[in-house]
Amino acid sequence: MAKLNEGDVMEGIFAISLAQLFAYGTIDKGKLNSIRSRIEPSMFQTGRYTTVIRQFSEGSPKDNIKVTLNVRLKYQATMSAFGPNYEVLMERGSDVGNIGQKIDTLVRYTNTNYSRRIQRVKDSYLKNNKSDKVDIVITADGIAGESSGGLIKGDLDVVVTVNGQEYMDERLNFSMKSGSKTLANLSPFNGMMDILNRFGITLPKEQEYRKILGETLAQAKTPKEKQLKVSTIKALYADIKRELSQLNSSPAMMAQTFKLFRDVTFGDDLANVVDVGKTKIKEITVDHINELQKNTLSVDAMPSGDNIKFKLQPSNKELFQLRFKNRSGEINGEFDIKELKFYVEAGNAAYAK
């Protein structure tokens, strides 16, 4: 059986949770797992699985409400967590990975930003003194987001239609994470070149870096080529660290820091981040980052080992860090590369209260 990916599974779990909040006003673990057992993951290979969660009347005067769930996840990464495969586990009272604990966290945490946003949407049609026809469609489709080239960050989208008109006052879309602070996972060359462009940094050896890393050694094959590639990337990163620190406390540093954060976190669709762990839920919201920028006087980029931490002043709290992951070296007498990654990772200041 293919390896389970908890992040992909949690996209589907969270979508069911949102549907329950619209349909019942609460998240019930038993109902949630029952819906999981009905979702046929084989359908992910060709399209979406669609099911009506609840069709009911509510409010005074009565609104006719229908809550529909669409799910399309990565089949190989989620097949053991839904449908018949999961149904067997459910009968045994077990779950896959840490999913059970994370569902408990969703049930336990009721005072979240996303639950308050959902309640505001519900109040808009339940308390308008009219009888409305309301269609709520929750879609979990991380595959579509991946095909956007990173411009679309949302894994889950909620569309509310009232009497045939889409409700736009509070658009709900979310980027789902499962105990992860990673906002972007980039190739070192492309990621570092993006940093140069964003912050207006010009390096004396920039053309040399572009030639070696972007052309000559884009596909390093021999041990000698791989060793040169790693040493060149390390030199480029050292230059970036030095040059970023020269921009500390400047208006350009502050403006580009927040722009970079918004681009890699929210994307074009302005998707709020919901990170569900085994014991807590953390959220990064557009409103929180806007407020954070208003209260920030300057930003400093501070090297810390192979990381660069972007700290907000005067609080000195970390908004995010750049992390260069380098797993390379001599293996059986020959230089080889196991992994080269360039991450943007959220800091404590990024999360809303």
Per-residue model confidence as pLDDT tens digits over 223-257: 999 999 999 999 999 999 999 999 999 999 999 99
- Distance separating alpha carbons of residues 96 and 81, to the nearest angstrom: 7
Structure tokens at 111: 């005072």
Give the single-character DSSP code of 73.
-
Q: What is the helix (H) or strand (E) element at residue 162, kind and residue range?
A: strand 156-162
Q: Is 139 exposed, middle or buried (0-12, 13-18, 19+ CB in 10 A)?
A: buried
Contact 341, 191 (CB under 8 A): no
Residues of the chain with pLDDT > 90: what percent?
80
Residue 163 scores a pLDDT above 90: yes
Mean pLDDT computed over 280-284? 97
pLDDT at site 332: 87
Give the pairing type, strands 133-140 and 63-71. Answer: parallel
Structure tokens at 259: 């722009």
Q: What is the helix (H) or strand (E) element at residue 208, kind and residue range?
A: helix 206-211
pLDDT at site 149: 57
Torsion angle defined by CA atoms of residues 98, 75, 92 and 179, in that order, rounded to the nearest 10 degrees: 10
Structure tokens at 341: 């990654």
pLDDT at site 97: 81
Mean pLDDT computed over 269-277? 94
Per-residue model confidence as pLDDT tens digits over 36-76: 999 999 999 888 999 999 999 999 999 999 999 999 999 99
Q: Name the least confident of 14-28, 36-50, 144-158, 266-280.
A: 144-158
Residue 27 scores a pLDDT above 70: yes
Residue 146 scores a pLDDT above 70: no
Contact 81, 48 (CB under 8 A): no
Band of residue 26 on the pLDDT scale cut at 50, 70, 90? very high
Mean pLDDT computed over 312-338? 95
- Give residue 213's identity as a one-letter amino acid code: L
pLDDT at site 102: 94
pLDDT at site 144: 64
Residue 148 scores a pLDDT above 60: no
Band of residue 145 on the pLDDT scale cut at 50, 70, 90? low
For the chain, the average pLDDT equals 92
Contact 49, 139 (CB under 8 A): no
- Distance separating alpha carbons of residues 317 and 315, to the nearest angstrom: 5
pLDDT at site 201: 96
pLDDT at site 330: 93
Band of residue 152 on the pLDDT scale cut at 50, 70, 90? confident
Residue 161's DSSP bridge partners are: 135, 166
Specify the pTM.
0.91
Per-residue model confidence as pLDDT tens digits over 189-216: 999 999 999 999 999 999 999 999 999 9
Q: What is the helix (H) or strand (E) element at residue 245, kind and residue range?
A: helix 223-246
Contact 274, 288 (CB under 8 A): no
Q: Name the least confident of 29-33, 166-170, 188-192, 261-265.
A: 166-170
- Distance separating alpha carbons of residues 114 and 133, to the nearest angstrom: 23
Contact 141, 72 (CB under 8 A): yes
Task: Pick left, alpha or beta for residue 308 (phi over 0 → left; psi -120 to 50 → alpha; otherwise beta).
Answer: beta
Name the residue with higher pLDDT: 147 or 105: 105
